[in-house]
Amino acid sequence: MKRRYPHHQPSQFHLLETDCLPSQNLWMKRDDLIHPIASGNKWRKLKFLVEKAHREGKSKLVTFGGAYSNHMVATAATGAACGLQTHCFIRGDEPLQNHYLSTARLFGMQLIPVSRADYKNKELLFHTHFGSDAHALYVAEGGESEEARKGVAEIIQELPTEPAFIIHASATATTACGLGYGIRDLGWKTKVLSVAVLKNAEEQTEKAREAGLSGTVTVIRGDMGGYAKTNPEFLGWVKQFIALTGIFIDPVYTGKALWTLKQQLESGAIPCDKPVVFLHTGGTLGIFSPEFLNA
C-alpha cells in the first residue's frame, strides 16, 4: 500500500546553553528528533526519493551500505513507514550480526551480503538482482542524489532567522550541498562548516566546488585519523556532553562535529557571540556500540 511520507516538519529548534561549549549564541536544529532510530539527515534525503518511488509506481527501494550504515537503517525505517519494501546490499564478508543490521531487519529490510569486490560495481549488482523488476528503485549509497540535496535544503527554510554559521557532521557532502542550496535559494550569507568525519575532506571540498558552493561550504577536517577513530579525551567529552545536556550525541558523527565546533570557538575562528546553528543529524545507533558505552 502506497503511504505518504510521515510528516515531521519543522524539526525542533532551540538555544543550547552548556558549559561544554563556550558559545553564548548556539542553536540546535534537532533533526535527531525526527525519528528515534533513523538519522534525521537520512530522513531528509529520502523524502523526495520516496515521492519519486510513489510517482513512478515503484514498490521497493534497493540500496547499498556497510554493516554500520545509518543510511541502511534509515531506508529500512522509511520504507516500513511508507509501505515500500526495502533491500540493501551489504559490503564485505563480515558476519551479518550487529544492532544496525538487526534493526534494519526489524523494519523488514532484506539484507544481501556481497564481497567487497562485487560491492564496487553497484549498477551491476542492481542489474543482476533487480534488473527485470520494474518496481525496484535504485537508491545510491548514502542516498546521494538531487532529490536528497533538495530534501536537505528544506532544513534552511525551517530556520527562523539567518545564522552566521551552520555546522554539521559530513561524510559524502550531500547534506553540505543541500544546506548550501537552501542558503543560496534564500540569498543568505550563512557559512556552512562541514566537519569531515572520515578522511575525505579534499574529496568533499571538490564536491562542494562542483556544486558551485565554494563560497558557502567549507569542509573542515574532524576525522581524528579515520572513520570511527577516536581518543579517550574526546570520548570523555562526548559522555560529559550527554550527561550535562540530556542530548544524545554519537562518537562517529555528531560528537566529532561538536568537538570541532568547540575547537573553532576556543581558537576564535568562530566568535563566541555569533549566531551558530548546530545541525544535529541523528546517528543514535552509534551510541549503543559496546566500544563506546564501555570505554
Nine cell digits for residue 242: 550527554
Which residues lie closer than 8 Å to 243 by C-beta, 6 or more apart?
none
Beta strands per DSSP E along the chain: 13-15, 26-30, 60-65, 85-91, 110-114, 136-138, 165-170, 191-196, 217-221, 276-280
- Give the SS3 label for residue 29: strand
CA distances (Å), 178 to each of 181, 182, 249, in order? Answer: 5, 6, 22
Q: Which is nearer to ligand PLP, 237 or 248 (CB)?
A: 248
What is the crossing angle of helices 232-245 and 254-267, to 10°? 100
Segment lying near ligand PLP (by CB under 6 A), choices 37-45, 51-59, 211-219, 265-273: 37-45
CA distances (Å), 68 to each of 4, 107, 228, 262, in order? Answer: 27, 16, 10, 27
| Block residue for cell numbers 536544529 | 29
Nine cell digits for residue 164: 552566521
Nine cell digits for residue 218: 567549507
Q: How far is the CB of 151 from ligand PLP (least distance, A)?
A: 11
For ligand PLP, which residue has the nearest CB? 283
Residue 222 binds ligand PLP (CB under 6 A): no
Residues in 133-162 that interact with ligand PLP by CB under 6 A: 142
Q: Which is nearer to ligand PLP, 135 or 229 (CB)?
A: 229
Q: Which is nearer to ligand PLP, 172 or 289 (CB)?
A: 172
Residue 205 binds ligand PLP (CB under 6 A): no
Residue 198 binds ligand PLP (CB under 6 A): no
Residue 174 binds ligand PLP (CB under 6 A): yes
Q: Which of 170, 190, 200, 216 binds ligand PLP (CB under 6 A)?
A: 170
Segment lying near ligand PLP (by CB under 6 A), choices 7-15, 47-55, 184-192, 278-286: 278-286
Q: Which is nearer to ligand PLP, 163 or 222 (CB)?
A: 222
Q: Which of 282, 287, 289, 292 binds ligand PLP (CB under 6 A)?
A: 282
Of 147, 153, 131, nearest to 53 by C-alpha is 147
* Interface mask toward ligand PLP for 59-98; x: CB under 6 A: -----------x----------------------------
Residue 238 binds ligand PLP (CB under 6 A): no
Q: Which of 23, 41, 145, 205 binds ligand PLP (CB under 6 A)?
A: 41
Nine cell digits for residue 21: 561549549
CA distances (Å), 151 to each of 47, 73, 267, in order? Answer: 6, 18, 33
Q: Which of 175, 190, 205, 216 binds ligand PLP (CB under 6 A)?
A: 175
Q: How far is the CB of 79 from ligand PLP (least distance, A)?
A: 17
Task: Tell me how long the chain is.
Answer: 295
Q: Which is nearer to ligand PLP, 173 or 238 (CB)?
A: 173
Q: How far is the CB of 205 from ligand PLP (least distance, A)?
A: 13
CA distances (Å), 163 to each of 27, 28, 183, 188, in order? Answer: 9, 11, 10, 9
Q: How far is the CB of 132 from ligand PLP (least distance, A)?
A: 31
* Binding residues for ligand PLP (CB under 6 A): 39, 41-42, 70, 142, 169-175, 253-254, 281-283
